[in-house]
Amino acid sequence: MAHKFLIKKNKAGEFVAYFVYNSETIFWTEGYASKASAKNAIESIKKNGPDAEIEDQTVE
């Protein structure tokens, strides 16, 4: 699979969820005190992300 979520600990000891595509980190969450919270963040992204609108704030 070319994409996946990873849960890692940051330097502060918090759990962070990373979204990785073709071995490149695309985005990551804030740090959470518990692994369960990081997993909840992943589930929220998976549930709510497909319907997210795109807002282009570039000036052309």
Q: Could you tell me the residue ranges of all domains in the chain?
A: 3-50
Q: Are 30 and 17 in contact (CB under 8 A)?
A: no
Q: Are 9 and 20 in contact (CB under 8 A)?
A: no
Averaged pLDDT for residues 48-53: 86
In which band, very low, low, confident or very high, does the pLDDT at 2 lie, cut at 50, 70 and 90? confident
Instruction: Name the CATH topology of 3-50.
Output: Double Stranded RNA Binding Domain (3.30.160)
User: What is the rounded CA–CA span in Å between residue 54 and residue 56?
Assistant: 6
The pTM of this model reads: 0.82
What single-letter amino acid sits at 2? A
What pLDDT was estimated at residue 51? 84
- Residue closest to 26 by CA, chosen among 53, 13, 51, 45: 45
Q: State pLDDT tens for residues 16-50.
A: 999 999 999 999 999 999 999 999 999 999 998 88
What pLDDT was estimated at residue 49? 85
